[in-house]
């Protein structure tokens, strides 16, 4: 049958085996054959350019500042906590939901601890500033979607830490902004200490904050924004126009966001029932809403978000105050805390989900077990001894 097939296709036996062997080498040994969507990478002296799809999303406004328009997320009904998202080629409506009180209590506790360290350092109470990365401010954002990539990888899964924070409710953004501005404008204020103290005060007022979303900046995409976007006098050139995160989110706005606590609980916390020895770990699933600062068609709310997060960042870290904003919209929350039974270990907490009776093996002996039966039971259950 194989000989007949080869003869009909006019492929010589020797050539056929060569092709088969070459394919085997390529598949099993990683021979650098070009994949369906992969690219050969020239690592020296190359310029990574946007593919044609991404060229279509970039524009220049009247001031010649670069901005983008996202094609796969619609927020027309955001005030009703409903969004439309195109995921894997299909449009669907999703309801936004609020993170739970366990997460909020944990987030505030770590935020206050963070500010206390900064205040002690700036007020001279300590000469050491030892604040670990991670925790409430640096969750991991995971994305996928842009299979063609930007030319530097054959993979389109991406995970990166981002400096996320809480966002005021739409009707509270002006109030929070004014409170911060008042400190900056006070000639007797001690900057940055009084800003830290004001932030501590505001974050503890839970009713100010929108529990359906987090906010950060997309620092490296779309640069240079204009001819003044420079570092040390040189026009910015990262070698790419979009980060992996940005490209993935433009193609597919779905993402996950994962927080893990800096420290284990010691039993004094208000969250997790005051249990000690736990590592609070939270996962959020939802969508990233990218807002381009210089888009002339932004809504008033989008402008307010972009200004709020940019001012919070550039006044502390310096640099541009007109960068793209990234708002994570919450659809689901999971509690991934190890050993926190029955609430953690990867169970969905928002919206609540009933996992029912555990599927663990249950033994109901009719009589008292012999020693051999007990040993067999231990082996069956794989209980460590």
Q: Is the pLDDT of residue 31 over 60?
A: no
Contact call for residues 110 and 133 (beta carbons, < 8 A): no
pTM over 0.95: no
Query: Counting Cβ atoms within 10 Å, is residue 332 exposed (0-12), middle (13-18) or buried (19+)?
Result: middle
Domain membership flag for residue 33: no
What mean pLDDT do residues 177-196 have? 96
Q: Is position 362 within any domain?
A: no
Residue 184: predicted pLDDT? 96
Q: Is residue 50 part of a domain?
A: no
Is residue 203 one of the residues assigned to a domain?
A: yes
The DSSP secondary structure of 297-324, one letter per residue, reads T--HHHHHHHHHHHHHHHHHH-S-S-PE
pLDDT band at 46 (very low <50, low <70, confident <90, very high): very low
pLDDT digits (tens, 9 = 90+) for 114-125: 999 999 999 999
Listed in sequence order, the residues at least 6 apart from 272 whose beta carbon sits closer than 8 Å to its beta carbon are 102, 106, 265, 278, 280, 337, 340, 343
pLDDT digits (tens, 9 = 90+) for 196-251: 999 999 999 999 999 999 999 999 999 999 999 999 999 999 999 999 999 999 99
- The answer to the question of residue 383 being in a domain is no
Find all residues with CB under 8 Å of 301, minimum gap 6, and list them: 78, 170
CATH number, domain at 195? 2.30.110.10
pLDDT reported for residue 368: 75
| 255-294 residue pLDDT tens | 999 999 999 999 999 999 999 999 999 999 999 999 999 9
The reply to whether 271 falls in a domain is yes
How many domains are contained in the chain?
1
* Structural domain of 257: 58-350
pLDDT digits (tens, 9 = 90+) for 63-78: 999 999 999 999 999 9
Cβ burial, residue 253 (10 Å; 0-12/13-18/19+) = buried
Say what the pLDDT of residue 371 is.
Answer: 82
pLDDT at 36: 37
Helix (H, G, I), strand (E, B) or coil at 48: coil
pLDDT at 382: 57
Residue 384 lies in a domain: no
Q: Is 184 among the domain residues? A: yes
Question: Sign of the CA dihedral 201, 207, 212, 213?
Answer: negative
Residue 9 has what pLDDT? Answer: 45
């Amino acid at each position: 049958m194989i000989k007949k097939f080869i003869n009909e296709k006019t492929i010589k036996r020797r050539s056929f085996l060569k092709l088969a062997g070459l394919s085997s080498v390529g598949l099993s040994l990683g021979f650098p054959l070009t994949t369906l969507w992969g690219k050969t990478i020239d690592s020296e002296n190359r310029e990574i350019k946007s593919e044609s799809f991404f060229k279509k999303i970039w524009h220049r406004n009247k001031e010649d500042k670069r901005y983008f328009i996202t094609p796969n997320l619609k927020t027309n009904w955001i005030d009703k906590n409903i969004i439309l998202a195109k995921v894997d080629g299909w449009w669907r409506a999703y309801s936004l939901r609020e993170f739970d009180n366990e997460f909020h209590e944990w987030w505030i506790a770590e935020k206050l601890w963070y500010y206390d360290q900064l205040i002690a350092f700036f007020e001279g109470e300590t000469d050491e500033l030892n604040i670990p990365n991670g925790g409430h401010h640096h969750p991991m954002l995971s994305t996928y979607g842009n299979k063609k990539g930007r030319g530097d990888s054959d993979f389109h899964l991406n995970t990166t830490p981002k400096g996320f924070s809480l966002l005021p409710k739409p009707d509270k953004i002006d109030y929070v902004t004014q409170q911060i501005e008042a400190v900056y404008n006070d000639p007797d204020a001690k900057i940055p200490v009084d800003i830290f103290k004001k932030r501590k005060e505001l974050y503890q007022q839970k009713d100010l904050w929108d529990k359906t979303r987090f906010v950060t900046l997309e620092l490296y995409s779309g640069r240079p924004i204009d001819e003044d976007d420079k570092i040390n006098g040189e026009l910015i050139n990262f070698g790419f126009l979009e980060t992996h995160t940005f490209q993935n989110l433009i193609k597919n706005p779905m993402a996950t966001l994962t927080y893990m606590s800096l420290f284990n609980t010691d039993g004094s916390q208000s969250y997790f029932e005051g249990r000690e020895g736990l590592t609070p770990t939270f996962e959020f699933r939802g969508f990233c809403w990218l807002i381009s600062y210089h888009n002339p068609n932004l809504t008033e709310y989008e402008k307010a978000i972009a200004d709020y997060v940019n001012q919070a960042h550039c006044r502390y870290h310096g640099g541009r105050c007109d960068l793209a904003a990234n708002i994570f919209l919450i659809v689901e929350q999971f509690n991934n805390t190890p050993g926190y039974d029955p609430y953690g270990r990867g169970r969905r907490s928002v919206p609540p989900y009933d996992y029912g009776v555990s599927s663990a093996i249950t033994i109901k002996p009719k009589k008292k077990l012999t020693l051999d039966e007990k040993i067999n039971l231990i082996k069956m259950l794989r209980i460590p001894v």
